[in-house]
Amino acid sequence: MDLTSFKPVDKNYKISAEERQAAHVMIFSRTEAKLWEKHKIRALVNMHMRFDGKLGFPGGILDPGENAETGLNREVQEEVGMDLGLLESDWVGAWYSAQGRILNHFFCKEVSREQFLMMEKEGEKAPEFGVEILGHIRVPLYSYQNKRGQRSGFPQFLKNNFSGNSREQLLKCLVEKNVLSSEEVGEALRLSTEC
């Protein structure tokens, strides 16, 4: 699906009965930890390897009649085995794709370090682990130059194959939640084209 087909819309944007709605969430926990005692990690951010080989966030297609919060809480329970109690206040935005015939809601939830680590540990016991979710991934929010002079970490991560507009949702939440500045995100995007 062409990324340019996703357009920001209002939360109550109306779609036809033949179109689908989905909801996903970025789960993160701030940290003061450093990689190799040099590079600030800033936050633990959960993404996962999906069944289709793309990177995405927990969540999925809403069942008929479900609102975004109810459907997303169900999907998160199935995929990571955790009840996050997502609320309307966790909603970040919605994007509609006429090409994909889908309205995609996005949420962001900050949890404690302990909750994050428990989610990673217990996630393998979730009903959809090994089916829809093939593995949990932490987003490397640091950047460094390796011994060959190449930029590694976040700029390299941004070159992965992301599902739908999840890459843009990740960047939006990192800035909105003050994990990274818009300048840092811009620099990572620039460096990702040079990796």
Q: What are phi and psi of 96, to 5 degrees?
A: -115, 140
| Domain count along the chain | 1
Structure confidence by residue, pLDDT tens digits, 60-114: 999 988 999 999 999 999 999 999 999 999 999 999 999 989 999 999 999 999 9
**Distance between CA 160 and CA 111 in Å, rounded?**
25
Q: Is 23 within 8 Å of 29 (Cβ atoms)?
A: no
Strand partners, 117: none
Domain of 52, in residue numbers: 3-192
CA distances from 115 to 30, 123, 138 (A): 12, 11, 14
Is the pLDDT at 13 greater than 50? The verdict is: yes
Could you write out the DSSP letters of every residue in 88-130?
Answer: GGGEEEEEEETTTTEEEEEEEEE--HHHHHHHHHHGGGSTTBT
- What is the pTM (predicted TM-score) of this model? 0.92
Structure confidence by residue, pLDDT tens digits, 117-136: 999 998 999 999 999 999 99
CA distances from 71 to 61, 136, 188 (A): 8, 21, 33
CA distances from 154 to 17, 76, 81, 169, 171 (A): 39, 25, 27, 15, 11
**Distance between CA 33 and CA 117 in Å, rounded?**
14
Residue 87 sits in a domain whose CATH number is: 3.90.79.10
